[in-house]
Amino acid sequence: MDPLDLLNQVAAEVRVCVQCQLNVSRKNAVPGEGPPNAEVLFIGEGPGFYENEQGRPFVGAAGKFLDELLQRAHLQREKVFITNVVKCRPPGNRDPLPEELEACSWFLDRQIEAINPMVIVTLGRFSMAKFMGNVRISDVHGQSRWVNGRLVVAMFHPAAALHQPSLKNAVLDDFGRLPGYLTQARTNRDKMQAVQVTSEDENLPDEDKPTQLSLF
């Protein structure tokens, strides 16, 4: 399916989803937003008060701070995709429950499949756990690891830095590393494409193989 069609289909399903109890208290589900060809996907935890009101991700105070952080990373908001591990607001901004994370993961998995991002930035421990398992965010924030051919970077949630000012410098530093990670991911993609082209050439009949021109 075309990536945009798949994203639109996921968003339509999310808006009417009743797969977990969070559907009862939501005002608006928040599927996420961004272009289908985004190189970077940001995954937060769940919608907060303002996101629930507007049906859009990261529009409250944490969203404003995320905008600043994106600028620091030389990224434009309209060129990245932003979503959450659960698409409906947990009441009182409580942590999402395991069964809610499980019920909602199908939507996030299809968004990743549609966007096929080179870099995934996890914002907070719930999205981090999806890719990195049982690690402590205080140990791995700002670090990256390859997961299924994508560079996954763990970050604190911007709201955490607003609640704990002592984290702010760490968040700023971590976002400052993003341009380097993006360069690393692009280089890896180019290498993979070159390997793919070479192996495709090897399967060509001799007369169709690219010719190395001799200068002498």
190 phi/psi in degrees, rounded to 5: -65, -40
Around Cβ 9, how many Cβ atoms within 10 Å?
Answer: 13
Strand partners, 45: none
Q: Which of 187, 177, 156 is nearest to 74 (CA)?
A: 177
Tell whether residue 19 is a contact of ligand SF4 (CB under 6 A). yes
For ligand SF4, the closer of residues 23 and 143 by Cβ is 23
Buried-state track 71-95, b at ≥16 Cβ within 10 A, e below 16: ebbebeeeebbbbbbbbbbbeeeee
- Selected range binding ligand SF4 among 16-24, 68-76, 134-142, 171-179, rule: CB under 6 A: 16-24
x/- contact string, 96-135, with ligand SF4 (CB under 6 A)?
A: ----x--xx-------------------------------
* HSE-CB for 190 with a 13 A CA cutoff: 6
- Residue 23 near ligand SF4 by CB under 6 A: yes
Say which DSSP state 33 is in: B
The helix/strand/coil state of 149 is coil
Residue among 114, 168, 104, 108 at smallest CA distance from 141:
168
Report, in this order, helix, strand and coil percent for the chain, each rounded to 5. Answer: 55, 10, 35
Pick between residue 88 and residue 155 the one whose CB is nearest to ligand SF4. Answer: 88
Please state the closest distance from residue 132 (CB atom) to ligand SF4, in A: 22
Q: How far is the CB of 25 from ligand SF4 (least distance, A)?
A: 10
CB of residue 92 to ligand SF4, shortest distance in Å = 15
Q: Which is nearer to ligand SF4, 5 or 102 (CB)?
A: 102
| One residue of 88, 114, 137, 154 binding ligand SF4 per CB under 6 A | 88
* Range in contact with ligand SF4 (rule: CB under 6 A) among 21-29, 112-120, 160-168, 189-197: 21-29
Stretch that binds ligand SF4, among 19-27, 32-40, 59-67, 155-163 (CB under 6 A): 19-27
Among 32, 73, 87, 157, binds ligand SF4 (CB under 6 A): 87
Question: Does 152 engage in binding with ligand SF4 (CB under 6 A)?
Answer: no
Residue from 7, 10, 11, 17 that binds ligand SF4 (CB under 6 A)? Answer: 17
Count Cα atoms within 13 angstroms, Cβ side, for 18. 1
* Nearest-angstrom CA–CA distance, 180 and 16: 39
Binding site for ligand SF4 (CB under 6 A): 14, 17-20, 22-23, 29, 86-88, 100, 103-104
